[in-house]
Amino acid sequence: MKLVHTDVAAMKYPVLLFSACIAVLAVTLLVAGCTTSSYGSNTNVPPVTSPVSTGNPVGTTCGFTSCHGLDLACGTHAPEACTMLYQMGDKCRQYAQCTSGSDGSCSLVTDPKFASCKACVEQCAAKAGSDGILAFDCETKC
């Protein structure tokens, strides 16, 4: 049996093979993000949510005192911005608004559709119990 000796470039140029391995490793680490350094503590930072306008024109202070849900109240300390998180009943808020009176009062005005929407959403929540998906699915039909 005759042994065949093949001339492999890696055997002739070990520095070339080592350099190629280092380059592949560096690219892999760079792509994986392992080369980033972190300073400071290792605490988790909550995600940033984009603010959503409360619908109050700039310069007025009368508006909803809460950003989400069915418990609506109007006041002069309305939030300037709200998170984009959706909660049960947010759909019904389109049928309500806060209005400023000439005497400086701030009052809630609801469309008749608000009461029926609110009743429907509350029924959905009661029927669904702790099943949030079922509750939200039901709410879409309100």
Region of residue 139 (phi > 0: left; psi between -120 and 50: alpha; otherwise: beta): alpha
Residue 17 in domain: no
Query: Residue 77: inside a domain, yes or no?
Result: yes
- Is residue 129 pLDDT above 70, yes or no? yes
The mean pLDDT value for 106-134 works out to 95
- Residue 34 falls inside a structural domain: no
Tell me whether residue 76 is in a domain: yes
Tens digits of per-residue pLDDT, 20-54? 546 554 555 444 554 444 444 343 444 444 444 44
pTM of this prediction?
0.54
Residue 95 is part of which domain span? 52-139
If one compares 68 and 13, the residue with the highest pLDDT of the two is 68
Evaluate whether residue 38 is within a structural domain. Answer: no
**Distance between CA 23 and CA 30 in Å, rounded?**
11
Per-residue pLDDT tens digits for 62-101: 899 999 999 999 998 888 888 999 999 999 999 999 999 8
Give the chain's domain count.
Answer: 1
